Amino acid sequence: MESYILDWLNLLLRWTHVITAIAWIGSSFYFVFLDSSLTPPEDEDLKKQGVSGELWAVHGGGFYHPVKFAVKPPQLPKHLHWFYWESYSTWLTGFALFTVSYLWSAGTYLIDKSKMDWAPWQAVTVAILFLVVFWLLYDLICRRYGQRKSGDAIVGALVLVLVCVASWLACHWFAGRAAFLLVGAMLATSMSANVAHWIIPGQRKMVAAIKAGAPVDPIHGIRGKQRSVHNTYFTLPVLFAMLSGHYSFTYTHPQNWLVLIAMMFAGAAIRQFFVMRHGYKLGRNGNPLPYAGVGVAVIVAMMLWLAPEPAGPTPATAADAVDTSVGGAIGYATLQPILAQRCYLCHGAQVQMKNVRLDSPANVKLHAQNMYQQVVISKIMPMTNTTGISEAERMVIKQWFESGAKTD
């Protein structure tokens, strides 16, 4: 029953998390586009009001004319919309999902004993520290170097080094799938912390100054914009880290930390292309295509590097296990001992992870397709290969399924 409840929590949290993430990322992308696409106002009245940029757009059957006041508007409107709940909701649902999916079952999903043989509470503590320590170091870098001349380049280089170190540590301390997700959660935590500790507080100070009739310090807008730009470059790397858990060829590679770093770098480069593209169309930026080219080139290089070796002959141990009693095909009698040794621990009489039970012919037949996909094709199962299934045993399951998945 616990597994069933956790599955429902996982589904509902994942659903909510995706919805809120779409809202947050969508608004973030829109405002980056808006800032990059603003043109100086042509109307004299707008200039007198202090408008620094305007945009005309058509959408949904209507025309829109947003304008931007660089420091403050002539007066505050009665209703001012704030963009922060999208960020907070995304982080809260994401952390809850991470807790249900990984921290709650740390011994199964978070720990790979071949890397670090620690207790679940130790793994959970270190995972949470990843989120906190990365934010503190990233924030320190921004505070110390962000306002200097050429500060953006210094901050970018130091944050890149910090991400590389964190990725290496995560992939050497945790199970591959969990490591990728943890790095994504680490960046996402910093994104939400940027909103909570810099962007929104700075905007509140600006609003308070306007209400009090005091001069508005432009530094709050500058710092908020800096953190907002960082967030937009983190977005595609975070999305890759979150989605990679469905593709084991990335996180099971012996140098998975390099795969993670390269793909996140490719995502950031491609995001740079889109950021620059809007200004390029207005003649403000250089050609952004080289950034897209670099990102695509890195992805192609990863595709070539991770390509599987050509299939060799069937291992002798697997061939010896073939049950020839059913027309030369592998039968259930040969399959069952492998399932008992490698699968019953999580899918047997005592525990049914993901509501899957494999200790009877009927259930094996019911889940045959999923077994083939997750054990043979993606090699996700057994999770972190806790039970030590061999390639020869995977081959037996492959031959059993491809010869008809017979259980009689």
pLDDT class for 384, splitting at 50, 70, 90?
Answer: low
Q: Enumerate the H helices of 148-288 as residue ranges.
A: 151-173, 176-194, 200-212, 219-243, 248-251, 256-281
Residue 395 predicted with pLDDT over 80: yes
Residue 321 predicted with pLDDT over 60: no
Segment 380-406 mean pLDDT: 83
Q: Write the pLDDT tens digit of every residue in 102-130.
A: 888 888 788 888 888 889 999 999 999 99
Q: Write the pLDDT tens digit of every residue in 184-236.
A: 999 999 999 999 999 999 999 999 988 888 888 888 888 888 999 999 999 99
Q: Write the pLDDT tens digit of every residue in 49-82.
A: 889 999 999 998 899 999 998 778 888 888 888 8
Q: What is the pLDDT of residue 333?
A: 86
Nearest 5°: the CA angle 297, 299, 304 is 95
Segment 145-162 mean pLDDT: 87
Residue 313 predicted with pLDDT over 60: no
The tokens for 277 are 């593209």
Range in 21-30, 83-92, 109-118, 380-389 the model is least confident about: 380-389
176-194 helix and 256-281 helix, angle to the nearest 10 degrees: 40
Give the closest residue to 178 by CA, choosing from 103, 246, 110, 259.
110
In angstroms, the CA 105 to CA 110 distance is 7
Q: For residue 64, which phi and psi values (nearest 5 degrees)?
A: -120, 145
pLDDT class for 381, splitting at 50, 70, 90?
Answer: confident
